[in-house]
Amino acid sequence: MSHVDLSFPVRGQTIPRDHGYALYGALSRVVPELHGAGWLAVHGIGAKLLGPETLTLHPTGTLRVRIPLDRIGTVLPLAGKIVEIAGRPLVIGVPSVLPLQPAPVLDARLVVIKLTGGLKHEGLPFAPSDFVTRFQAEASRQLAQLGIANELRILGRSSIKVGGRRVIGCAVQVAGLTDEHSILLQVRGIGGKRTMGCGVFRPARSSRA
């Protein structure tokens, strides 16, 4: 076991629906070592949709970060802190350590991948089907680099706002994984911006105990 999820209980009222960028910034202000940390992946905070752009926190809501075992001490100072997510306070509690669990089917809420040549061709934007085709090809190539040949299924398009710029990606699912490949994909992920909740794989709901 090289990596774990550290699960911090959180208390607050609401957070933005698109909170990955703001959350990472808030955590980095508390623990500066998290800024630019290639070893860190941050899950999006699960919450109930309150409005088009707002989530309301569950009483049992959690902030989960995926880290190497030897980085637990780096992240622990988050416990007991109050951070602001786009001006909304969030109280972070004392975490639990959760081992990664293998599952044959993994989902990622959002994967973002920089496509070679951008999203335009001869001055015209690609049709959505063109984007999905190119995205799936590049995502499958990254899986193959990990030695994972399973087909990746696109669950839908999504996006994240990063520093005022909208970045487009897709929700994805990978099925038929061996235990070894399942853990590997959870540890390594695919795509970029894992510190902002992108490319972070978890067992699909149907696979969870």
Q: Which CATH number does 106-207 carry?
A: 3.30.70
Where are the strands (E) in the chain, listed by range? 3-12, 14-16, 41-42, 47-51, 54-57, 62-68, 82-85, 88-92, 96-99, 106-111, 120-121, 124-125, 152-162, 165-174, 201-203
The domain limits of the chain are: 3-99, 106-207
Topology alike, domains 3-99 and 106-207? yes
Mean predicted confidence (pLDDT) in 8-22? 95
* Residue from 100, 119, 103 nearest 168 by CA: 119
Q: Are 47 and 58 in contact (CB under 8 A)?
A: yes
Please work out, in degrees rounded to the nearest 5, the angle formed at the alpha carbon of residue 124 by the alpha carbons of 120 and 125.
55
pLDDT digits (tens, 9 = 90+) for 72-95: 999 999 999 999 998 999 999 999
CATH of region 3-99? 3.30.70.1890
Least confident of 22-26, 116-120, 171-175, 200-204: 116-120
Report which of 204, 182, 209, 196 is spatially closest to residue 42, judged by C-alpha positions: 196
- For the chain, the average pLDDT equals 91
Q: Is the pLDDT of residue 121 over 90?
A: no
* Helix ranges restricted to H, 31-127: 72-75
State if pTM tops 0.85: yes
* pLDDT for position 203: 97
